[in-house]
A and B are shown apart, each in its own frame.
Chain A
């Protein structure tokens, strides 16, 4: 837990403690407070009631998720289907006192703290095998009771693993996922949201990446009412490498949000962030915030973050906010790119000039746009399921 004076996430600090708010894009905004100084606590009582004016919440429709930020959460172990007999991966439900809990991070806001205060058992997934195996956790029967969940994924030094959290059905869920990647381990964590429209899901993922270790973190959000998945990746040891990928498809009524935080703590660390979203329908909404902090000891770092939004109809709103803080002069590279736009006419023309009707050409372009992210997952089964799900989104979307 960091040493902040009070429960102040609701406060907007104006002094920046000599921080350099760096941005080179015209629309990149200046952080009012360094990301490193955010208050953290695992106790919900340390956070004030969410008002919607907080930096963390001002782009989120908070009235739709009040049950998760303010209400009481069912902390019993959520219905979870775990695979059996996956070599090199073990999972068990553990108590709050388990030593693995709290090793990767702590809540920065009230919904996350509410979940942390409420969970009774945590799902501990331990990856120890040195050969890559896929471990897929399925949650499809969580129901409409507001609930909390906690997961700790630990990759032992030198291990390799692919852990997939597949979410579907109904849910009112606030959860924390801790990810600890041991020295030289290579871990991919994927979280897929295909909830029903009536569901809301707030997730904070905290990752610590060890020496010469590599984490690939992938968020795919297709279904759900309000879905907010915020990965924070701390590159804490020399040579740590973190990639954060995301793909989302927001239809009418959906709010899909992702706040990515890459924290370059150690020297020679590398990060890549790439999120791509498609929006369709007048009330479709997406938020992407990409905070990258290159700390004073993170010399020789290399970082790049990118968000691309493809707006398929009149009316959707996509917020895209890259945000780079650099506290050392000695970096290899740091950049960001962000764009939100309509279809590329030249691409459509090319496809149509080959006889492909306009609506089909549009579908091909969107599918291709998101496929780049889906292809990062590394599981044929999951990739083909997601391609089909995206196809279904496209078919449902009128007029494209």
Chain B
């Protein structure tokens, strides 16, 4: 059984005002096939956690560890982490001018698998994932994320999730900017990946809405750089109704 263990993770970022501590001791364990939702106010550090796991150079790990099946991830380069089985669906996917979606996906798939995918099977997988995500074939020839609508960018992230078949995925507000239909389509994509590969998921969201389609096993409340409470799906409902007030009494947002 695969697992992802985050232990006492402290992360800072350099700002013009100096070093700013954002994550202040995050502990989380995710097992194979489990879905963990993370909910928390703006600026609490959710995206920072996602980026730190993926290895974004802007974020400095001060201490702690992230282990994938017992292997330390924090000493790996960004691409090594991806090849080890981690995936980040970004809150704001990046545009890559001049690089077509199909070229990008093939290059990524080749890098992850260590060998080019057999052409026929690859085209078939690509076609079927795209059609299930209701992405027109013309997207294959478009430049990565360039001119994509917010919803199209999110579908493109899930397309990659399905094709690259990671062990664990962090979905950073994949639901934001999606209409109801798109939300369903994207959620189905995530659920397919989960069913096919036993994907473990860390799902960052502000809304209970997506959790109706992607059932969480655990819900974590994230405030001021750490997990302050955990529970089951019922906690998400309660958070949506009550907000974060009861956790915020002693902290300022973003401090």
Contact = CB atoms under 8 A, between A and B. Distances in A.
Q: Do A and B bind each other?
A: yes
Contacts of B103: 364
Given A355-B112, A358-B77, A367-B99, A347 B94 contact: yes
Is chain A's binding surface mostly helix, strand, loop or mixed?
helix
Interface string B12-47: 000000000000000000000000000000000000
Interface in A338-370: 345-347, 349-358, 360-361, 364-365, 367-370
Given A349-B57, A349-B78, A368-B143, A356 B96 contact: no
B79 A358 contact: yes
Contact of B83 (A349, A355, A370): A355
B138 to A, nearest CB: 16
Contacts of A367: 98-99
A344 to B, nearest CB: 8
A67 interface: no
Interface in A358-393: 358, 360-361, 364-365, 367-372
A370 B108 CA distance: 21
A346 B143 CA distance: 16
A356 B78 CA distance: 9
Contact of A347 (B58, B79, B96, B112): B96
B9 to A, nearest CB: 18
A351 B97 CA distance: 12
A356 B79 contact: yes
Given A354-B160, A358-B77, A368 B98 contact: yes
A369 B97 contact: yes
A310 to B, nearest CB: 11
A357 B143 CA distance: 20
Nearest to A367: B98
A345 B57 CA distance: 9
B93 interface: yes
A369 B104 CA distance: 14
A360 B107 contact: yes
A350 B111 contact: no
Contacts of A360: 107, 111
Contacts of A368: 96-99, 143
Nearest to A373: B98
B11 to A, nearest CB: 16
Given A352-B79, A355-B112, A356-B107, A346 B98 contact: no
Interface residues of A, number: 23
Nearest to B114: A355
Nearest to B89: A353
A369 B98 contact: yes
A352 B82 CA distance: 8
A350 B96 contact: yes
Given A345-B57, A356-B107, A368-B143, A351 B96 contact: yes
Given A354-B108, A354-B160, A360-B107, A370 B98 contact: yes
A85 B192 CA distance: 57
- Tell which of B58, B77, B111, B112 has the most Cβ of chain A within 10 Å: B111
B209 interface: no
B183 interface: no
A356 B56 contact: no
A364 B112 contact: no
B78 to A, nearest CB: 4
A353 B57 CA distance: 11
A370 B112 CA distance: 26
A349 B56 CA distance: 7
Contact of B82 (A345, A355, A370): A355
B97 A372 contact: yes
Contacts of A349: 54, 56-57, 78, 94
- Tell which of A351, A357, A369 has the most Cβ of chain B within 10 Å: A351
A364 B104 contact: yes
Contacts of A370: 98
A356 B108 contact: yes
Contacts of B143: 368
B202 to A, nearest CB: 15
Interface in B107-162: 107-108, 111-112, 143, 160
A156 B190 CA distance: 59
Contacts of B54: 349, 353
Nearest to A375: B98
B90 interface: yes
A366 B192 CA distance: 35
Interface in B190-207: none
B193 to A, nearest CB: 15
A30 to B, nearest CB: 32
A351 B81 CA distance: 12
Contact of B99 (A346, A353, A358, A365): A365
Given A355-B82, A364-B104, A346 B94 contact: yes
27 contacts: A349-B56, A349-B57, A350-B90, A350-B94, A351-B108, A352-B55, A352-B77, A352-B82, A353-B82, A354-B82, A354-B108, A354-B112, A354-B160, A354-B164, A355-B112, A358-B77, A358-B79, A361-B79, A364-B104, A364-B107, A365-B99, A367-B98, A368-B97, A368-B98, A368-B143, A369-B97, A370-B98
Interface of B: 54-58, 77-79, 81-83, 87-88, 90, 93-99, 103-104, 107-108, 111-112, 143, 160, 164
Return the 6 tightest CB-CB contacts between A and B, nearest first: A368-B98, A355-B82, A354-B108, A352-B78, A350-B94, A371-B98
Given A345-B58, A347-B95, A358-B78, 5 more contacts: A350-B94, A353-B88, A354-B112, A364-B107, A368-B143
